[in-house]
Amino acid sequence: MDYLTVIQILDSALRLATPLLLTCLAGLFSERAGVVDIGLEAKLLAAAFLSGAVAHTTGSIWIGLGAGVAGSLAFSMLHGLASITFKGDQLISGVALNFLAAGLTVVIGQAWFKLGGRTPSLTPDERFSSWEPSFTEAMSHIPVIGPAADELIAGHTVLTYIALAAVPLSWWVLFRTRFGLRLRAVGENPSAVDTAGVSVVALRYAALVIAGVLCGLAGTYLASLAAGFVKDMSAGRGYIALAALIFAKWRPWYALYATLLFGLLEAIGNRYQSISVGDFVIPVQFMQALPYILTVIILAGFVGKAIPPRAGGQPYVKER
């Protein structure tokens, strides 16, 4: 394996990690506020479908992005309605929304475009273009650093940079602002927040709004990258993001590392059908399953303990 191959794999890892990272941060905000979100997958699908469809119809990926975020937000609010307002089971609500999105995107897509649930392919103008600054091109002839700069720093779409910027931003919001403190408190001890005169409901809805926007970006990224929506295109990424969230122990910087690791695993799995270590061949299916296996091991507490926010999953009922 030569240097250029390594760079290419890392480049593709970053590409694959971007939607995971955005989705993982979405789950981070929601779960830190005490709302468990299995419905990340639903938001990804809704955003990917609407952004693909609207970008094709209007010819602008930016309007598509707006539609994608709106679709993702709609699912986020439905989750809030069920699990915050009506105090329903958050897990069941998430499962329901995942089915709803998987079905609706295809049913509406078929009625809209008659392409078997796909949206028409997006032309290059209707997708995000990648950032190719002149300095990395000028650097590309420099050995070692050149190709790395060209592949890794440049050549990504705006959403990748937004996702990377979202990591310190999330950290700052959660750990350095009053809003963040309250948000985390609501996920640990909502009655204390309520006693302090701060609305638990408003904070949890706020967290779901942030989650909706982030998933909207992630879904749009998928549609833009694949030049359109296809059925079930999120392919379980919402669940992998959930796994990464546990892996990251509900912390922003660790979320970046976890999603990069999962992106790397996927990139390696895509590039090599089977990897041989000495006489032993690692099958490609093992690579596919590795993120899930790692998550189970982490969850089992064999490698450090992942402790979720204490009030996660429970609807808050005011004492009377």
Partner 1 sequence: MSKMPKWADAVLIPLISILLAFFFSGLVIMAIGKDPIVAIKTMVQGAFGSTQGIGYTLYYATNFIFTGLSVAVAYHARLFNIGSEGQATLGGLGVAVVCLAVPWPHWTLALPAAMIGGAAFGAAWAFIPAYLQAKRGSHIVITTIMFNFIASALMGYVLLNVLKVPGSMAAESANFGPGAHLPTFHEMLAPFGINFNKNAPANVSFLVALLACVVFYFLIWRTRLGYEIRAFGQSDTAAHYAGINRVRIVIIAMLISGALAGLMAINNVMGEAERLIDNAVEGAGFIGIAVALMGRNHPIGIFLAAILFGFLYQGGAELAFWESIPRELIVVIQGLVILFTGALDNMVRAPLEKLFIALDKKKEA
Q: Which residues bind partner 1 (CB under 8 A)?
A: 38, 78, 81-83, 86-93, 95-104, 106-108, 110-111, 116-117, 231, 236, 239, 242-243, 246, 283, 285-286, 288-289, 292-293, 295-296, 299-301, 308
Question: Residue 77 Cβ, how far from partner 1 at the closest point, in Å?
Answer: 13
For partner 1, the closer CB: 196 or 277: 277
Measured distance CA(181)–CA(32) in Å, rounded: 10
Question: Residue 298 Cβ, how far from partner 1 at the closest point, in Å?
Answer: 9
For partner 1, the closer CB: 133 or 301: 301
Report residue 100: phi and psi, to 5°.
-60, -45
Sign of the CA dihedral running 30, 32, 38, 40: positive
Q: Please tell me the number of Cα atoms within 13 Å of 183 on its side-chain side.
A: 26
Question: Residue 286 Cβ, how far from partner 1 at the closest point, in Å?
Answer: 7
Question: Residue 225 Cβ, how far from partner 1 at the closest point, in Å?
Answer: 22
For partner 1, the closer CB: 59 or 116: 116
For partner 1, the closer CB: 82 or 148: 82
For partner 1, the closer CB: 6 or 281: 281
Question: Residue 62 Cβ, how far from partner 1 at the closest point, in Å?
Answer: 26
Task: State how far the alpha carbon of 47 is from the alpha carbons of 66, 164, 198, 224, 231, in Å.
Answer: 9, 20, 32, 11, 13
For partner 1, the closer CB: 226 or 306: 306
For partner 1, the closer CB: 56 or 118: 118
For partner 1, the closer CB: 101 or 217: 101
Question: Residue 293 Cβ, how far from partner 1 at the closest point, in Å?
Answer: 6
Question: Residue 306 Cβ, how far from partner 1 at the closest point, in Å?
Answer: 8
Question: Residue 100 Cβ, how far from partner 1 at the closest point, in Å?
Answer: 3
